[in-house]
Amino acid sequence: MKRILSMIVCGCLAAGMLTGCGSRNNVADTAQEAGGAEEENTVEAVENTEVPGEETEPVEVKIWHDGDEAIMGKIEATVNEALKDQQISISFEKKSGLTDQLQLYGNDAANGPDLYFYAHDTLGTFVEMGIAAPISDVAGEDVFSGLLPMTVEAGTYKDVQYFMPVYFETLLFMYNKALWEGEVPETTEELYAYMEAHTDTGAGTYAVVNQHSTAYNVAPFINGFGGAVIDKNGQPGLNLAQTIEAVEYNKKFAALQADGDYNTVTTLFNEGKAAAIIGGPWLVSGIKEAGIDLGIKSLSDFKLPNGNGLAPFSGVQGVGVLKHAVDEKKDAIAQVLKVMAGREVGEALALGSNCAPANMEAYANPEVEANEMIIAIKETAETAQPMPNIPEMSVMWGPAEGLLAAVNKSGEDVKTAAERCQQDALTAIADMQ
């Protein structure tokens, strides 16, 4: 779960969509048009840059990724169709261990890629490597104008935009319609009351399961209370008053949940021993295989005692530009980014791969609008916070989960555990220097 972003998977509930974003078994051949004939699509919007009388030289833009090849294939086909008249094409190549590969070849024009497609939380690492170029080096700010603000924020590092979002994911409240009784609550206090009435830990049956000592899964509470695992300046926030309050609040929920890892809680839900689970789109294929009639609710819809909605981390997938490519393929890359940011790619991913697009216009497509999973993810973007993209985040999972385990599993005083784990985090960050 620490790198759940890199799994990048978005689910689906709409009829006929049986797997989540990232699955290789349910990719439609084409995206369907959302609007009438009067609406311009991305293909029409891309300007033809050919000069009359001149022959355009073909340009191929190479992109490395470490994601789902079916999703990359959908993007590649859509972009290449849009830019075929300008003789601009893209090609994706999968590279396991992409961070290490870019460290070796990120500045190598001959052997490396022009762009990379990856999760946003690695952005700070690539910038500090000296390989990433600001998007402004190749494209204007208007390329971001049609994108969800939260996804754009995810691509900002030290106040500079280095990354263009394409699709994203968040945690969701997922429930078994056959087991859940009545309406899903609107507040976390009402949810807790439901859990008290419908949980029998002795019998091994639960109202709601969650990885209660995993920082990613508890982040909706921490962020919702105004706390932080770490801030954008690299300062750990485990001993903040708001973080302590959130961890204390989560403790009572943890007492009514199974003490288990990802596989444990997923199995409980899929086997019908839990009525609901806090999880993500990556769970959908297994849930469908289990024959569960799945319901979805945005975590943003659950209000905390302070009036804020739960605020999960979001993982954003998108594209970054390598410095060497700016001089060599600037104009071609600008056109590629324009298409990737457009409605047509957003629709193709939503309809063909069940991903929640960064492009806002894609949600106007009736078929996209009817997809309960995708719409719930979009709604969650209202409170979701991009996972920190600073290099220091990589060493924060251990201290943060040490705090949660000490409180939820060992019964340690929250303030005492928070101070100790804060020092552990500061030490881990210092060791990075």
* Each residue's pLDDT tens digit, 62-112: 999 999 999 999 999 999 999 999 999 999 999 999 999 999 999 999 999
Q: Is the pLDDT of residue 236 over 70?
A: yes
Same domain, 125 and 232: no
Same domain, 165 and 176: no
Q: Is the pLDDT of residue 31 over 90?
A: no
Same domain, 292 and 343: no
Task: Indicate whether this model's pTM tops 0.85.
Answer: yes
Q: Hey, what are 113's tokens?
A: 């890629």
How many domains is the chain partitioned into structurally? 2
Q: What is the mean pLDDT of the chain?
A: 91
Confidence class for position 8, pLDDT limits 50, 70, 90: very low
Among 209, 363, 379, 359, smallest CA distance to 283 is for 209
Same domain, 39 and 162: yes
Residue type, 69: E
Rounded average pLDDT over 340-363: 98
pLDDT number for residue 113 = 99
Same domain, 76 and 136: yes
In angstroms, what CA-CA distances link 176 with 206, 278, 291, 380? 12, 12, 10, 20
104-131 b/e (C-beta count within 10 Å ≥ 16 → b): ebbeeeeebbbbbbbbbbbbbbbbeeeb
pLDDT number for residue 56 = 74
In which residue are the tokens 């048009």 written?
A: 33
Rounded average pLDDT over 173-177: 99
Same domain, 181 and 239: yes
Pick from 9-23, 202-216, 286-300: least confident: 9-23
Q: Is the pLDDT of residue 50 over 60?
A: no
Which residue range is the domain that position 111 belongs to? 4-169+314-386
Q: Are 228 and 222 in contact (CB under 8 A)?
A: yes
In which residue are the tokens 């590629």 written?
A: 336
Among 387, 3, 429, 2, smallest CA distance to 215 is for 2
